[in-house]
């Protein structure tokens, strides 16, 4: 996809997967309500607390404080921030998220 602007910022197009060919995840029937965090983008970061602190210093709203979650007996660290449009963005500390047999 070719950028449509000369801005140094790049856009990641996200779609509402709500068609017969591609239903919404986990059986969600309602359209995605921005900010509910149901479907969201996530980024891995090297230092979760440091990243959150820097983002907050820059005026980014923190919606979920850094915390440890557990899935299948494996702990991982996450936080959520809100983008300028009100969408939640997940931050995952690198080296803590387990996907299958791989730790990311």
State the catalytic residue, choosing from 57, 65, 90, 93. Answer: 90
Indicate if the alpha-carbon torsion angle 35, 36, 39, 41 is positive or negative.
positive
Which candidate, 70, 66, 69, places its Cα nearest to that of 80?
A: 66
Are 34 and 86 within 8 A, CB to CB?
Answer: yes
- 90 is an active site residue: yes
In the DSSP assignment, the letter for residue 96 is -
Give the residue numbers marked as catalytic.
90
């Amino acid at each position: 996809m070719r950028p449509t602007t000369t801005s140094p910022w790049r856009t990641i197009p996200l779609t509402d997967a709500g068609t017969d060919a591609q239903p919404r995840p986990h059986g969600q029937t309602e359209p995605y309500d921005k900010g509910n965090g149901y479907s969201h983008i996530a980024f891995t970061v090297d230092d979760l607390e440091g990243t959150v602190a820097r983002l907050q210093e820059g005026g980014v709203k923190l919606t979920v404080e850094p915390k440890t979650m557990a899935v299948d007996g494996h702990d991982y660290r996450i936080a959520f921030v809100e983008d300028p449009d009100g969408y939640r963005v997940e931050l995952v500390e690198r080296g803590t998220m387990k996907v299958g047999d791989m730790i990311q």
